Amino acid sequence: MWTYVARRLLQSVFVIVGVTVISFVALHMGGDPTYLFVSERATAEEIAETRAKLGFDRPLPEQYLSFAAGLVQGDLGNSLTYKTPALDVIALHFPATLELTIVAIILAIVISVPLGILAALKRGTAIDGGIMTLAMFGQSMPSFWLGIMMILFIGLGLGWLPISGHVPVLEPLLAGDFGKAFGNIPAAATYVLMPALTVAFFSISRNARLVRSSMLEVLGQDFIRPARAQGLAEREVVVGHALRNAWLPVVTMIGLEFGFMLSGVVVVETIFSWPGLGRLVFNAINQRDIPLVQAAVVVFAVTFVTLNLIVDLIYARLDPRIRLT
């Protein structure tokens, strides 16, 4: 297994170099961002001077190499807008996004798995039909629309949940302030609910359908029949055998889910004023804060690679037929 892990890590170096080169080229395709850092009335000399201050007067390959050299030492340069190390800026925004994604993934699992199992067990009935119809609708709705509607109806109209904003839990937790972290949980829960539901809605629908079809597949398979023949209660068959096997596609999905949800958070963080990474990176691209975008891309890639490695390892645990090579 360790050789497998080592090989995967080697591959991930390739991946990280790849994503940084691509984003570097993409960001420089439209020229450098100097114009955004000079006043409306700047002269040509002042523009040139600012360009030099920002370091964009050097040839592109040289700029990339100095970025890569920094990357090896864990220094990704300073954000152009915040004027502080790009990694620090990301670290300040990461916990909020992580909270949102974790809650969304949890929602996506705890809502979708029971629904999917229920639909599979009641296959062909009105319950199955109802759940699957809902799931179909959930997969057909743009998330920003759902978010705005929730703000208008649940937040403003009914006043049940806060409209927007964020109460931190992970950040004080990481800082070692447990009292504050736990004290914040009740308030944080009310703030996170609407955005997390918006992010998770698509996944809930998709996973419910996924669980249902993989349950159906497992229930019809050979190894379930002897279990039934042995006189095991239906409940034990479902929980002990079928569910364990039906998990597999869901676990795989969760691995992909992270990257997928990161895509969703850009929109959701904007609507709900959630101080996370998605909106930060979107703004950074808009303002052409190249060091910040580069750092974010590296962080995303590392997270993705690590998560997928973990998922693959768990997968191997769950399914003894899979060998890691």
Partner 1 sequence: MTATSEPMTAGQPQDAVPLDDWRRTLRRAWRSLVRARWPLVALLILAVVGLAAAIGPSVAPRDPNRQAIMARLKPPMAVDRQGKVDYVLGTDALGRDVLSRLIYGARISVVVGLAAVVIGGILGTVLGLVAGYFGGWIDDIIMRIADIQLAFPFILLAIMFLIVLGPGVWNLIIILGIGQWVTYARIARGQTIAQREKEYVDAAKALGARTSTILFQTILPNILAPLTVIASFNVASVILSEAALSFLGLGVPPTVPTWGGMLAESREQLLAGRWWLAIFPGVAIMATVLSFNILGDWLRDFLDPRLQTTG
Partner 2 sequence: MPSSLRNPPVNGDAHMKRRLALALAGIAAAPAMALAQAPGPNTLVVGYGTDASTLDPADISSRDTANIAQHIWGTLFQVTAEGKIVPYLADSYTESEDGTKLTFKLKPGLTCHDGEKLTAEDVAYTFQRAADPNLKFTGNTPGFVFSSLGYRSIRAVDDTTVELTIAKYNPIALGMVGEVYIHCKDSYEKMTKEQAAQKPIGSGPYKFVEWVRSDRIVIEKVPGYTVRPANFEKVVWRVIPEASTRTAELLAGNVDIITNVAPDQIDTVNKSPRAKVQAVSGTRRIYVGFNQKEMFGNTEGGKAIRNAKVRNALQYAIDVPAICAQLLNTKCERATSLVNPPNGNPDLKPYPYDPKMAEKLLDEAGFPKKNGVRFEIVLQSPRGRYLNDANVALAIGQYLTDVGVKTDVQLMEWASVYVPLIRKKEAGPMFLLGTGGGTWNALYDMADLSTPTAGTNYTNWEDPEFFSGWAELSQKRPEAEQRATINRMLKIFYERGPWLLMYFQPDFYGVSNRVDWNARRDEKIYINEAKLK
Please identify which residue in 266, 280, 295, 311 interacts with partner 1, judged by CB under 8 A: 266
10, 300 Cβ separation under 8 angstroms: no
Q: Contact at 8 Å (CB) between 251 and 315?
A: yes
Shorter beta-carbon distance to partner 2: residue 12 or 81: 81
CA distance 143 to 280: 19
Q: What mask of x and - would describe binding to partner 2 in positions 25 to 44, judged by CB under 8 A?
A: -----xx-x-xxxxxxxxxx
Among 12, 287, 303, 306, binds partner 2 (CB under 8 A): 287
Would you state the structure tokens that stand for residue 110, as one six-digit string? Answer: 């705890």
Does 290 engage in binding with partner 1 (CB under 8 A)?
no
Of these partners, partner 2, partner 1, none, which one is at the site of residue 240 (CB under 5 to 8 Å by kind)?
none
Give me the sign of the Cα torsion angle 315, 319, 320, 322: negative
Token digits for 206? 């998709």
List binders of partner 1 among 5-44 (CB under 8 A): 11-12, 14-16, 18-19, 22-23, 26-27, 29-30
Q: Which residues 96-115 are close enough to bind partner 2 by CB under 8 A?
A: 96
Helix axes 86-121, 290-318, angle to 10 degrees: 40
- Indicate whether 275 belongs to the interface with partner 2 (CB under 8 A): yes
Q: Per-residue contact track with partner 1, 138 to 177, x per CB under 8 A?
A: -xxxxxxx--xx--x-------------------------
Which stretch in 123-131, 159-167, 182-190, 314-322 sits in contact with partner 1 by CB under 8 A? 123-131
191 touches partner 1 by CB under 8 A: no
Best CA proximity match to 196, nearest among 158, 156, 166: 166
Residues contributing to the site for partner 2 (CB under 8 A): 30-31, 33, 35-44, 46-47, 50, 53-54, 78, 81-85, 89, 92-93, 96, 130, 133-134, 137-138, 141, 145-146, 148-149, 151-153, 155-159, 161-166, 168, 190, 270-273, 275-276, 279-280, 286-288
